[in-house]
Homo-oligomer: A and B are copies of this chain.
Amino acid sequence: MTAVSKRRKKPAGASPGSVVYVGAEKTTPVTVSCIQYSADRYEAPRIVSPKECRPVPSPSGVAWYTIDGVHDVEILKTIGENFGLHPLVVEDISNTTQRPKLEGFDGYYFLATKMITYDPRSSKLKSEHVSVVFGQGFVLLFLQDPGDLFAPIRNRLEAGKGKIRESGSDYLTYALVDAIVDYYFHVLEDIGDRIEQLEDEVVSQPTARTLRTIHHVKRELISLRRSIWPMREVVNAMIRDESPLISKGVKIFLRDLYDHTVHVIDSVETMRDLITGTLDIYLSSVSNRLNEVMKVLTVMSSIFIPLTFIVGVYGMNFQYMPELTWRWGYPAVWLFMIALSFVLLALFKRKKWM
């Protein structure tokens, strides 16, 4: 998950609109692939050069360009010029710390989102910056890292199933964002499982590691929350939009997507409540254990301290101690001490300390 303190490499005071990549440094080459389709046509993905990534003159269908990598600033600038994008849009595409947002411009929309996936190497959540620019007949998809998350959409396009081939770039944008939001559910399931595990652990065997795990899950939920809240705004803004770029038919689907983002938010908030409850139980469990330990100490001390005093008394070396010479002095002391122990034990039992 992106650290909260991610370094923004752009120097403070730099010219706005200056395109600077601010994510981790990378040297992998950036490829641009293109899929063209319409209701009755589908061209399989092919690699194109950044220069070829430009609006199709008279689009009868949709051209979907995927740019897998935002660290090559020159390529972004070339594409930005081809499509006439505002310099701030190109800056936001390369800024991997950009919050989700929707911005409307003349002839196109810019949409920034966060994709959450599991990083198998570090077993941590990974937040990826995904930008979409869409207009009449084209969709530009900018990915921070290459990945195959959107394969099902390509398959649906190829198979020609569902509404996707007959619809325009607005529906494709919806399908892309829907796929991203669906991934949140996978991540939430995983976190939900870990919370259930933690709830068992805090009761049965709370350790310092449990506490760290609770805090770790809490951090992940804070990060998720931070990504999904603005997403809701984004989808809502698309629904309320009145430009012809988003058709009425697609808005029904966006309403459904909005519902999903609310569901995610709801789950995140519920999980935050649950993890807070788990922390409470953890602290109580730890304190209960201390309690139990203290009680044993008290009971043992409280019984043996008077007994030790008694045997100390008869260890004194006074010349005139009549008890020491009694025939039954020793057994009598034993009897007295045993009786005392029972009295004390009964007392503690009655006070429910045992």
Contacts and interface: CB of A to CB of B under 8 A. Distances in A.
A124 to B, nearest CB: 14
Interface residues of A, number: 128
Interface in A229-257: 252-253, 255-256
A309 B304 contact: yes
A152 interface: yes
A294 B300 contact: no
Contact of A293 (B152, B179, B353): B353
Contacts of A222: 270, 273-274
A289 B291 contact: yes
A14 interface: yes
Contact of A270 (B226, B320, B323): B226
Interface string A1-34: 0011111101111111110000000000000000
A47 interface: no
Contact of A305 (B175, B183, B300): B300
A324 B315 contact: no
Contact of A324 (B5, B92, B319): B319
Interface in A252-298: 252-253, 255-256, 259, 262-263, 266-267, 270-271, 273-274, 277, 279-298
Contact of A277 (B215, B293, B309): B215
A13 B99 contact: no
Contacts of A277: 215, 218-219
A308 interface: yes
Contacts of A12: 149, 152, 179, 182-183, 185-186
A203 B212 contact: yes
A317 B324 contact: yes
Interface in A19-53: none
A311 interface: yes
Interface string A187-221: 01111110110010001010010011001001100
A145 to B, nearest CB: 17
Contacts of A282: 284
A4 B191 CA distance: 10
Contact of A286 (B284, B312, B316): B284
A98 B196 CA distance: 21
Interface hub of A8, A86, A298 (most chain B Cβ within 10 A): A298
Contact of A316 (B300, B325, B330): B330
Nearest to A258: B101
Contacts of A196: 3, 5
Contacts of A318: 314, 323-324, 326, 329-330, 333
A208 B152 contact: no
Interface stretch (A56-64, A74-82, A127-135, A156-164): A156-164
The 9 closest A-B pairs by CB, nearest first: A5-B192, A13-B152, A311-B312, A12-B182, A314-B316, A315-B315, A15-B162, A13-B179, A318-B330
20 contacts: A5-B192, A6-B192, A13-B149, A13-B150, A13-B152, A13-B178, A14-B152, A16-B175, A17-B253, A86-B252, A286-B287, A293-B353, A294-B298, A297-B302, A305-B305, A308-B309, A309-B311, A318-B324, A318-B333, A321-B330
